[in-house]
Amino acid sequence: MSVPQISKRLLALDYLRGYFIVIIIIDHLSRWPSTFGALSGHALLWVTAAEGFVIISGLLVGYIRGYKNRHSTMQQIAGKLLRRAGLLYLWVIIGTIIYAAIVWNVHLRGGSPGLPFDHINDWRELVIQTITLKYAFVWVHFLKLYAIFLAASPVAVWLMRRDKSWLVAVLSLLVLVIGWQTHSEAMQWQALFFVPSAIGYYLEDIRAWWLGLSARRRQLLTGSTWTATILTIWLSVVCTFYPEHIQSLANSLNNLYAKDTISIYRMLTAFLWFTGFVLLFARFEAWIKRWLGWLLGVIGSHSLTAYILHGLVLCLVSYLTLSSDNLLINSVLGALSVLLVWVLLKVPFVHKVIPS
């Protein structure tokens, strides 16, 4: 079995990005049990779709802003990245205020995320913490990190253009170590963005190297990656949901993947799973395009718009429905939430006001 060429338009990455957003929607809906739990792991596994989305975002910044735009001036690239960072920062504020207002003032019967403030409608504290990026509502939390990473990206691109992508990766890992010491979320998560950015700059070279391998060698590397991915996912499932079967080992491994930090184990596992999924989506790109392209392609190519909007859909679902233990109802609500986001993305006006 040979692995086909990755589309020049990187459709596999578009579909994968769409898939990550779909999983994030399902996880944020948080209606369990659901058949979608088999795909998302309830956001409780060692690695979640959030890590994958950050990785793919960094990879594409390195590829598009670094490599593909390499003939543009550095001033032009820096301008694009900083304007984008500013726009996302603005939407962190807008999204947080909108969702906080809804949660504080609308009775969401199906439940909603809490806010870390002592009083309801504490607008002064909310605005101050949001503007200073100390807080962002959970449904737009990634935008805060992405805005920070994009604001720092001109330095990374400048180094890439001077054949110093290795230095981008090294500096990113050094910042990760500082993040461990200071417990800084942004300093830790940036490693999942900038290390892939350094790789993204050489994505064309990597593709050329891959396609230059013999079919047998590609098959061996693909099979090995899939095997390692499947085994670690299986182990994560057992340690997370059935730890009583291997109690001592599960406790030890789960401690290595604590959710409040990006440990070296979590980062390496995230890269492994991401690579496995890239190879999977590349291998079945034609099938995905035929059966799921209408959904994953639209959501993937407008991923930030979908991410910003999905909270409105979750609010609507929570306003209209109660939380339930019914597997069928929760599965239908999960599918409906994803489809409603897709419908919103088809509205032309949406793309005029919300970044994609």
Q: 3-class DSSP state for residue 273?
A: helix
**Residue 356, pLDDT score:** 82
* CB proximity list for 302: less than 8 A, separation 6 or greater: 345, 351, 356
**Residue 9, pLDDT score:** 59
Torsion of CA 141, 142, 146, 147, to 10 degrees: -20
CB 154 within 8 A of CB 81: yes
**Residue 118, pLDDT score:** 87
**Residue 1, pLDDT score:** 35
CA–CA dist 330, 29 (Å, integer): 9
* CB proximity list for 49: less than 8 A, separation 6 or greater: 19, 20, 21, 23, 24, 27, 40, 43
CA–CA dist 167, 155 (Å, integer): 11
**Residue 10, pLDDT score:** 85
Closest-CA residue to 311 (of 143, 90, 117): 143
**Residue 198, pLDDT score:** 98
356 residues of the chain, pLDDT tens digit each: 334 444 455 899 999 999 999 999 999 999 999 999 999 999 999 999 999 999 999 999 999 999 999 999 999 999 999 999 999 999 999 999 999 999 999 999 999 999 999 889 999 999 999 999 999 999 999 999 999 999 999 999 999 999 999 999 999 999 999 999 999 999 999 999 999 999 999 999 999 999 999 999 999 999 999 999 999 999 999 999 999 999 999 999 999 999 999 999 999 999 999 999 999 999 999 999 999 999 999 999 999 999 999 999 999 999 999 999 999 999 999 999 999 999 999 999 998 899 88
Amino acid identity at 342 = W
Instruction: Examine residue 196 and say whether the peptide bond preceding it is cis (omega within 30 degrees of 0).
Output: no
CA–CA dist 271, 259 (Å, integer): 16
